[in-house]
Homo-oligomer: A and B are copies of this chain.
Amino acid sequence: MTTSETERVNAAVQRLRRAGLRNTAARRGVLDQLAHAVGGRGHLTVNELYRALLARGVAVELSTVHRVLRQLVELGIAHTVPVGRTTTFGLADDAHHHAVCGTCGDMRQLPAEAVAASVAAARAVGIDTELSGQPGGVVVYGRCARCLTAAG
């Protein structure tokens, strides 16, 4: 785990504490994994998170992972992107949006500038992404090059 990952986890823990929530092994574990995942695919499913924690020796229940993630999302520390039948979770500490391959679930980040026009158009029809710190964001669903070729 790099210094920057540690810092991001610590910052998230501070926010938890400020919200009156305790610094538990389950929460730190989930945050560690999320911070670590940002290098790669960026987002993880609940199950991936769960298995990664077990593999690292963090004894935790699947239902607890669900509960922890729900809280992180409510606090705006994590955000979600629905992919297929499940939901993926990522740290929300820098403002970014997502492009997802609907076939394999692969995900890329999009900078805020790139989606500004979509956000503005949504606001114009009464859907606001930015107020309220509540979960929100732009998701572009498409197909990655590999899946395009595979499908012909």
Question: In the assembled complex, which residues on chain B have CB atoms less than 8 Å from the CB atom of A47?
Answer: none
Q: Are A110 and B121 in contact (CB under 8 A)?
A: yes
Interface residues of A in 86-119 (CB under 8 A from B): 87, 97, 99-103, 106, 108-111, 114-119
Question: In the assembled complex, which residues on chain B have CB atoms less than 8 Å from the CB atom of A126?
Answer: 99, 108, 144-145
Question: In the assembled complex, which residues on chain B have CB atoms less than 8 Å from the CB atom of A110?
Answer: 118, 121-122, 125
> How many copies of this kind of chain does the complex include?
2
Does A135 sit at the interface, judged by CB under 8 A? yes
Q: Which single member of B109, B111, B125, B131 contacts A143 (CB below 8 Å)?
A: B131
Nearest-Cβ distance from residue A135 to partner chain B, whole angstroms: 6
List chain A positions with a Cβ less than 8 A from chain B: 82, 85, 87, 97, 99-103, 106, 108-111, 114-123, 125-132, 134-145, 148, 151
